[in-house]
Amino acid sequence: MARLQIARSMLGLALAAGFLAPAPSPAHAAGQTTVNVKSTRDPVDKSYRKMIRGMERFERERAFAPNATLRFQLLPRLPSVDMTGITLRIAGDTVSVPVKVETDNTFVLPRNEQALQQDAAVLASRKTSSMTWRARIESPGVPAGSRRLGDLRLECRVGKEAGLVSNSSPMFGWISDALSTPEGVCTSPDGNYLFFAERPIFSVTLRAGDRVETLPFSMLYAGGEQTPDMLPFCDCQVLLDRTYYVPLWDASWPDDTLVEFEYMLDAPEAP
């Protein structure tokens, strides 16, 4: 409890009172929603071509994570969004391909040549602006409560190539014109590609052999740089206490470096 109080006090120094939105409420009825192909695409719908390019980049750059698997993941952006029972579809002018979404809201995107030719969109049964999308790359054998730095390096490259980051304002440095490419974002100290932990974090530590370093507060909670006016433009909106940066650009940390999390609260017990 003392650890949780300290973490909340630290967040309070960076954020205005009442700043964080509450976590999404438990699911209600989760009936499937039919997704119709739109004649005019919403500018925030995800491009199927771009997501396929992200998958191709994953295959080209597997040296970061030779044994890893790639999935995409949907995460809540607004406290009101119900993340249960989401359906997903690839929709073009004449093609419509359902995509299976797992209970953890991850999915594998199938390749469809007709959808590629028609420059299809990837549509969810929730407003696209109510969610954020990420690549999820995981190598086997990583201890619970940890991530592998090489996996995160490749997640950044795939996520940017696939056009997943859904920030909607150019005021943020990580989506400025100078940092709009995967190389600009993922190899620069100014890139600041946001990652999301499984639950609210107290601290993040890098461990490579005998070298251990705890990340500074400036690399947690979106750097403490969000204000209530800025938060609606950040795709960290409802997940701010789970956000962190890691030094993707720092080659002195090898790909096998473990990124270890100390959470504010223990994991909920399984039923």
Max mean pLDDT range (181-185, 194-198, 225-229): 194-198
Measured distance between the N- and C-terminal CA atoms of the chain, rounded to whole angstroms: 23
Max mean pLDDT range (1-10, 79-88, 206-215, 218-227): 206-215
At residue 97, the pLDDT reads 97
Q: What is the C-alpha to C-alpha distance for residues 78 and 160, in angstroms, rounded to an integer?
A: 22
For 251, the token pair is 């080659």
As beta bridge partners, residue 204 has: 261
Q: What integer is the mean pLDDT of 126-150?
A: 94
Average pLDDT value for the chain: 82
pLDDT tens digits along 211-256 = 999 999 999 998 766 667 777 778 888 899 999 999 999 999 999 9
Q: What integer is the mean pLDDT of 161-176?
A: 60
At residue 27, the pLDDT reads 39
At residue 169, the pLDDT reads 43
pTM (predicted TM-score): 0.80
Q: Are 26 and 80 in contact (CB under 8 A)?
A: no
Phi, psi at 11, each rounded to 5°? -65, -35
- The answer to which of 56-65, 133-142, 183-192, 209-218 has the lowest mean pLDDT is 183-192
SS (H, E, C) 184-206: HHHCCCCCCCCEECCCCEEEEEE
Q: What is the C-alpha to C-alpha distance for residues 172 and 187, in angstroms, rounded to an integer?
A: 17
Q: In this predicted model, which residue has the larger pLDDT, 86 or 173?
A: 86
At residue 28, the pLDDT reads 37
For 112, the token pair is 């469809």
Q: What integer is the mean pLDDT of 89-104?
A: 97
What's the pLDDT band for 11 if we cut at 50, 70, 90?
A: low
Count Cβ atoms within 10 A of the Cβ of residue 135 and give its class: 0-12 exposed, 13-18 middle, 19 or more buried. Answer: buried
Print burial letters for 67-100: b (CB count within 10 Å at least 16), e (below 16): ebebbbbbbbbbeebbbebbbbbbbbeebebebe
pLDDT tens digits along 27-74 = 333 443 334 444 334 445 799 999 999 999 999 999 999 999 999 999
Q: What is the C-alpha to C-alpha distance for residues 167 and 137, in angstroms, rounded to an integer?
A: 21
Count Cβ atoms within 10 A of the Cβ of residue 250 and give its class: 0-12 exposed, 13-18 middle, 19 or more buried. Answer: exposed
